């Protein structure tokens, strides 16, 4: 049984199933419907943050344009479905291919040099995109935003709010599995090697430019998927949403959740986004300190817990094994420290 | 010394020069390495030994000269035409002076990185974790375990590389080179930081690698006892120039070498 639960696929599916039950719990009146909406949005952010985690956690590169690419995908999907009246599937394809193409172009131009240029280039692109979102009103609706309806699958199956939530959860589970496959094997090793030592990676035949580009491509694809889901779930897209703050939030999610951890990314998104939406914002006195809490969390994690919350699992299992007197990390059996009674202490002292 | 015949040669370095700013790190250097021999490169600190390694493995592009690698089937490749990550595809693999491992990964994962170019895994196949990919991973893992066993560190395979003592890390680096089915292994100071027993063990190991893996070995080393013990031929350089080349015996008795190491009056141990 424990072996089954240790299988990552099963873990992802279990998480998915747990999330799928939320609308039922809301139906029963235990949690509010708005909570489900917040969780749905959190999952959407998790997807974009996971893409950034592949880039930052594995290859050590930074992108400050996650929100820009996410917004671009959101506007494209809204435009294709609402203005052009094309099917949802066409919108998804267009909204993933165009930003990814743009992302790869930015990557080709900036990754030939030092890795840090990607951060600068993506920041520039995101700012340009933001100007486009505000000013090209025929495409984006300008400051009043673009509207989008819920997805209509295969042209006849129109999803309602809860069904869209299911779709988001399913997409999340699939993406978790695919990213797990990619990062646990050949490509994950190449990315790790690159981050660990560029020289060694090159000597082992790893084409640094190629793998950096792949990592950035994955980040852009996931940001795009996330943008598409966002606009069809929330229903609208404002230019003010896609600013640098959001991109930095994704970084914060990774710092708090844990580098290179899929579950960590989810937990990080939950803490940074859902917690403040659910617990801080409803209380008027606390609503304004939400960003402050975010900042403090980041500082605490960087200083005291740089491996993020994903590391808790390892620590707990270590602690558990030590407690049980099992083999510790060096493969030696540690004896449980016996607590001395007062009489024994006195005996020791006199002896 | 007698020039070796062409078909016996594995690596031919001809008139290589490289300068950093005004400093000539390597000046018109030529030497050839025979197939399946252990070739040592010695010289005082700053003589340009690691720079030559970097010129051979294309981490640096030499200003002039050529570096040719001759495959066992007679095919000749000018390494200078290759990008740094393509050098390993010719069968040339190297270690680093300061061990370059992925510190937070396990030893076995570090070794698996060495098989990167041998594995052919298309991205889409990896994405869906196809059966072929899983079998490929399985086989490569077995091969890695075999190599770790050969180096006596199989029992450590699941430990984090960065937490291991220096001697083990050096072995992991050597294990990583063996994963790529190399023809020429380039070792940059393999004995640095090892104690006497470990150095002795290393000497045996290098000889064994040469025989078992049928590889040519080029090494830079400061430990003279190791170099004299295992090398078939040695090239001594000083300030980027070759001062002597020959068998360990010839090198030991060469007055130029003694001068470079010990100054005018003196004798090499």
| Residue A203 contacts B, CB cutoff 8 Å | yes
Distance from chain centroid for Cα B142: 24
Q: Which positions in chain A touch B83 (Cβ < 8 Å)?
A: 207
Ramachandran angles phi, psi of B65, nearest 5° = 95, -175
CB atoms A192 and B102 under 8 Å: yes
Give tens-digit pLDDT for A264-317. Answer: 999 999 998 888 888 877 787 777 787 788 888 888 888 888 888 888 877 887
Q: Which positions in chain A touch B123 (Cβ < 8 Å)?
A: 182, 187, 214
Ramachandran angles phi, psi of B100, nearest 5° = -110, 90
Facing B85 at nearest CB: one of A189, A196, A206: A206
Q: How far, in Å, CA of A71 to CA of A237, rounded?
A: 8
Surface-to-core class of residue B59, CB atoms within 10 Å of its CB (0-12 exposed, 13-18 middle, 19+ buried): middle
What pLDDT, on a 0 to 100 scale, did the predictor assign at position B3? 56
Predicted confidence (pLDDT) at residue A170 exceeds the cutoff of 80: yes
A165: distance to nearest CA of chain B, Å? 25
CB of B248 closer than 8 Å to CB of B234? yes
What pLDDT, on a 0 to 100 scale, did the predictor assign at position A150? 84
What pLDDT, on a 0 to 100 scale, did the predictor assign at position B44? 85
Higher pLDDT, A207 or B263: A207
Higher pLDDT, B2 or A319: A319
Task: Count CB neighbours of B155 within 10 A.
Answer: 10
Counting one residue from chain A and one from chain B, the pairs whose CB atoms sit within 8 A come to 93
B64 three-state secondary structure: strand
pLDDT band (50, 70, 90) for residue A210: very high
Domains of chain B and CATH, by start: 1-91+182-268 (3.40.50.300), 102-181 (no CATH)
Give tens-digit pLDDT for B181-194. Answer: 899 999 999 988 88
Higher pLDDT, A234 or A1: A234
Predicted confidence (pLDDT) at residue A346 exceeds the cutoff of 80: no
What pLDDT, on a 0 to 100 scale, did the predictor assign at position A338? 46
Distances (CA, A) of A151 to A85, A233, A236: 12, 8, 13
Give tens-digit pLDDT for A55-87. Answer: 999 988 999 999 999 999 999 999 998 888 888
**Residue reference for tokens 């994955």:** A218
> Where are the alpha helices (H) located in chain A, listed in sequence order?
2-6, 8-20, 22-27, 33-53, 59, 66-78, 88-111, 116-135, 137-140, 161-184, 186-196, 198-203, 208-234, 244-257, 262-269, 284-287, 290-304, 311-323, 342-350
Nearest to B63 by CA among B95, B22, B97: B22
Specify the CATH number for A2-306; select among 1.10.3470, 1.20.120, 1.10.10, 2.60.40: 1.10.3470
The token duo for B215 is 């590889």
B133: distance to nearest CA of chain A, Å? 9
Q: How far, in Å, CA of B86 to CA of B79, rounded?
A: 9
CA–CA–CA angle A9, A15, A20 (5° rounding): 125
Q: What is the pTM of this model?
A: 0.86
């Amino acid at each position: 049984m424990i072996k089954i639960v240790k299988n990552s696929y099963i873990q992802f599916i279990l998480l998915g199933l747990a999330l799928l039950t939320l609308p039922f719990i809301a139906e029963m009146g235990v949690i509010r419907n708005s909570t489900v909406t917040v969780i749905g949005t959190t999952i959407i952010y998790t997807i974009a943050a996971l893409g950034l985690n592949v880039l930052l956690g594995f290859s050590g590169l930074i992108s400050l344009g996650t929100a820009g690419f996410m917004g671009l995908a959101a506007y494209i999907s809204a435009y294709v479905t609402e203005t052009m009246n094309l099917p949802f599937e066409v919108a998804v394809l267009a909204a993933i291919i165009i930003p990814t193409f743009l992302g790869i172009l930015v990557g080709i131009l900036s990754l030939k040099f030092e890795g840090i240029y990607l951060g600068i280039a993506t920041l520039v692109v995101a700012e340009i995109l933001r100007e486009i979102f505000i000013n090209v009103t025929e495409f984006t609706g300008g400051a009043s935003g673009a509207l989008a309806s819920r997805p209509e699958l295969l042209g006849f199956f129109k999803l309602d709010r809860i069904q869209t939530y299911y779709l988001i959860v399913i997409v999340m589970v699939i993406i978790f599995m695919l990213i797990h496959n990619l990062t646990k094997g050949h490509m994950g090793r190449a990315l790790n090697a690159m981050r660990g030592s560029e020289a060694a990676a090159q000597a082992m035949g790893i084409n640094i430019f190629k793998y950096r580009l792949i990592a950035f491509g994955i980040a852009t694809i996931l940001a795009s998927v996330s943008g598409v889901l966002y606009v069809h779930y929330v229903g609208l897209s404002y230019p003010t949403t896609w600013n640098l703050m959001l991109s930095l939030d994704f970084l914060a999610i990774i710092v708090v959740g844990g580098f290179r951890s899929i579950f960590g990314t989810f937990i990080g998104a939950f803490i940074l986004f859902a917690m403040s939406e659910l617990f801080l914002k409803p209380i008027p006195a606390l609503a304004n300190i939400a960003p402050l809490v975010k900042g403090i969390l980041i500082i605490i994690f960087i200083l005291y817990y740089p491996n993020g919350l994903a590391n808790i699992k390892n620590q707990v299992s270590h602690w558990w094994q030590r407690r049980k007197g099992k083999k510790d990390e060096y493969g030696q059996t540690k004896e449980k420290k016996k607590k001395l009674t007062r009489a024994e202490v006195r005996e020791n002292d006199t002896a | 010394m007698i020039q070796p015949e062409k078909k016996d040669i594995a690596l031919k370095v001809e008139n290589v020069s490289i300068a950093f700013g005004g400093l000539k790190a390597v000046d018109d250097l030529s030497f050839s390495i025979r197939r399946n021999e252990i070739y040592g490169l010695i010289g005082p600190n700053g003589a340009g030994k690691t720079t030559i390694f970097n010129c051979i493995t294309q981490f640096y592009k030499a200003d002039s000269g050529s570096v040719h690698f001759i495959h066992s089937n007679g095919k000749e490749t000018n390494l200078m035409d290759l990008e740094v990550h393509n050098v390993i595809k010719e069968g040339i693999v190297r270690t680093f002076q300061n061990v370059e491992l992925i510190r937070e990964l396990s030893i076995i994962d570090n070794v698996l990185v060495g098989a990167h170019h041998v594995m052919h895994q298309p991205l889409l196949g990896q994405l869906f974790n196809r059966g072929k990919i899983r079998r490929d991973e399985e086989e490569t893992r077995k091969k890695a375990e075999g190599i770790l066993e050969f180096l006596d560190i199989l029992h450590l395979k699941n430990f984090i590389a960065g937490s291991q003592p220096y001697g083990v890390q050096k072995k992991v680096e050597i294990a990583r080179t063996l994963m790529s089915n190399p023809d020429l292994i380039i070792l940059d100071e393999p004995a640095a930081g090892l104690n006497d027993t470990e150095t002795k063990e290393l000497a045996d190991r290098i000889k064994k690698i040469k025989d078992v893996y049928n590889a040519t070995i080029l090494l830079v080393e400061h430990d003279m006892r190791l170099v004299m013990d295992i090398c078939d031929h040695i090239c001594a350089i000083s300030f980027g120039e070759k001062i002597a080349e020959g068998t360990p015996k010839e090198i030991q008795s060469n007055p130029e070498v003694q001068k470079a190491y010990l100054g005018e009056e003196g004798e090499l141990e």
